[in-house]
Amino acid sequence: MPESYITDAMRGAIGTETERRVSYPVSASDIRRWALAVYYPELPPREYIDEDYAAQQPSGGIIAPQEFNPFAWLVAKRIWPEVLPDRLNLDRIEIILGVPGPGLKSGFNGSNEAEYGVPMRPGDVITGVARLAGYSERSGRFGLMLFTTIEDTWTNQNNETVKRYRNTLIRY
């Protein structure tokens, strides 16, 4: 078992952007459809679907549910690195960053966490910027495990944070 999978090149890539995408303007219809799908078979809260009702609430108008994803269907602009590797390649992140990966053969999703800022509203254009947030390691029953965390920050056209999402991949 190696002493560490984390190389100096990998450490040096921490903080580097791995992907950037820009949404089309969010529409009230997008929000309504998302809310109807998420809350089905119940009706969603009225502030997600009823413009007159929402205008009288503290939000001042229709807002999207926190888990709304403006990139779910189409993306207006996606900026990928020069190399777009196979999504199933476990060294995908390192390939994107231009550093040698650890070459591990197994992996799975370790965790997801989100923190929310201002709500998304009709007319918002959301920019998502994903960055390598860090690496860590731990011994497990399959040997040394590499934890890779990507942080994806979404901001609106006013540069207000809408969502910060952290995903950790475990490889061994």
Q: How far apart are CA 124 and CA 163, in angstroms?
A: 13
Q: How far apart are CA 24 and CA 28, in angstroms?
A: 13
Q: Please choose, from the candidates 133, 18, 120, 15, the residue with its C-alpha nearest in 3D space to the C-alpha of residue 71.
A: 120
Q: What is the pLDDT along the chain (172 residues), one digit of tens a residue?
A: 689 999 999 999 999 999 999 999 999 999 999 999 999 999 999 999 999 999 999 999 999 999 999 999 889 998 876 666 566 789 999 999 999 999 999 999 999 999 999 999 999 999 999 999 999 999 999 899 999 999 999 999 999 999 999 999 999 9
* Contacts by residues 69-72 (CB-CB < 8 Å, ≥ 24 positions apart): 69/34, 70/23, 70/24, 70/26, 70/30, 70/120, 70/124, 70/126, 70/154, 71/21, 71/23, 71/126, 71/128, 72/34
Distances (CA, A) of 107 to 43, 69, 111, 147: 38, 25, 12, 10
Domains and CATH numbers, the chain: 8-26+73-171 (3.10.129), 27-69 (no CATH)
What is the value of pTM for the model shown?
A: 0.89
Q: Which residues contact 169 (CB under 8 A, 6 or more apart)?
A: 93, 107, 108, 109, 110, 147, 148, 149, 150
77's torsion region: left (phi>0), alpha (psi -120 to 50) or beta?
Answer: beta
Q: How far apart are CA 130 and CA 114, in angstroms?
A: 13
98's torsion region: left (phi>0), alpha (psi -120 to 50) or beta?
Answer: left
